[in-house]
Structure 1
Amino acid sequence: MKNMEDIETYAAQHRVPVMMDEGLELLKRKIIEYDCRSFLEIGTAVGRTSLVVAGLFPNMRVVTIERDPEMIAQAKENFFDSPFKDKITLIEGDALEVEVEGTFDCIFIDAAKAQYVRFFNKYYPHLSENGIIVSDNMNFHGLVEHPERTNNRGTKQLVRKLRAYKEYLGALVDFETAFYEDGDGVAITRRRK
């Protein structure tokens, strides 16, 4: 079995974006705090987050979506080599096109940053009554607050979309969102009581 260090080393060497350690610790704390027993991840990458979450509770159910064939192959290998392979379902395809059944206590958005609003709108109906939606990269390396730090047009566009997503979350009537500075910035959204 590959250990987590091997998976993280692979991610670093191949420039695969994985959730920062601080952000991952926050995610784990919130999953435990809200007693989340089912987890939907949008953006599998190498499967690190799915594996960490699968180990939090004996009865944890994980569904994760990935469209990149290289990432799919790597995640499958990592899942197969783990003690959690029976708890994790990998759906291959674009998260905006695939169909997912059931409800989840935690929905984790960590895929194409420019699509966050669309991901939220597609998947929030799958959120259980007391569930949470967790969005990563809300600060995007500090550029959401300081877009002037980049001259890259594509990055500026991405940052604009993340800022729009932040405003979108803040304006939702049925949901409330707390923003955390942990890692690369994390938003935790839940239904208003």
Structure 2
Amino acid sequence: MKTQQQKLSQYAKDNHVPVMMEDGLAFLLDQVRQAKVKNFLEIGTAIGKTAIAVASLDPEIQVVTIERDPKMIEAAKINIAESGLASQITLIEGDANEVALPDFLADCIFIDAAKAQYQRFFAKYSPILSRNGIILSDNMNFHGMVDHPERTNNRNTKHLLKKIRMYREFLKSLEDFETTFMDVGDGVAVTRRKKR
């Protein structure tokens, strides 16, 4: 019998839905456990796979997840309902740059939406990060192409890679935060406030 997570992985594969790679997701869940996260904010719900995985770690975890794609929203609603974790997961419909900020301090912010918008998402949501909270950003390697842009001739992809490189430089330049780049999944950046 396939678990819901296995079914969601299969659905994502069959329908070309960009979800976190399995080892990247395992790393994220590990970070959530270690940081004893109670409030988790996700930017980019897709079909709800990560939100459900995080909520299933602990009945006390509250997940707020933001998605703008109507097709994804419909799929996520069904999957969240089927997970039996709907009481822990709040789905906000709309553009993450435009929706109102959730009314809580997030122990973990997970950025996994429009890659070109990562810097704007960080600027908007980092103020609601709890004192010892973490910000995780996915796709920092983008299939190994960020460091090897010569692997693609697609103009849009090249532009995207440039945006991701700029975001990586932005993270490195922050005075109040420190970032570790992990070569797991599709590349995950782990950002924390610097200890004063």
TM-score (norm 2): 0.96
Report what 1:113 is aligned to. Answer: 115
Paired AA for residue 43 in structure 2: I
Q: Is 1:10 aligned to 2:11, yes or no? A: yes
Cα distance in 1, alignment partners of residues 16 and 34 from structure 2: 31
Report what 1:78 is aligned to. Answer: 79
Report what 2:49 is aligned to. Answer: 48
Offset at residue 64 of structure 1 (A): 0.1
Cα distance in 1, alignment partners of residues 23 and 62 from structure 2: 23
- Where 1:123 maps in the other structure, the secondary structure is helix
Report what 2:106 is aligned to. Answer: 104
Cα distance in 2, alignment partners of residues 81 and 38 from structure 1: 22
Cα distance in 2, alignment partners of residues 191 and 155 from structure 1: 31
Report what 2:146 is aligned to. Answer: 144
Q: Any stretches of 5+ residues in structure 2 without a counterpart?
A: none
Cα distance in 2, alignment partners of residues 34 and 177 from structure 1: 16
Cα distance in 2, alignment partners of residues 145 and 73 from structure 1: 35
Contact 2:67 2:93 in 1 (8 A): yes
Cα deviation code 1:169-190 (max 9, x no counterpart)? 0010000000000000000000
Report what 1:21 is aligned to. Answer: 22
Cα deviation code 1:31-86 (max 9, x no counterpart)? 11111111000000000000000011120000000000000000000001112110
* Coordinate RMSD, CA, aligned: 1.1
Cα distance in 2, alignment partners of residues 80 and 104 from structure 1: 23
Which stretches of structure 1, 4 residues or longer, exceed 2 Å deviation after superposition?
A: none
- Where 1:81 maps in the other structure, the secondary structure is helix
Q: Any stretches of 5+ residues in structure 1 without a counterpart?
A: none
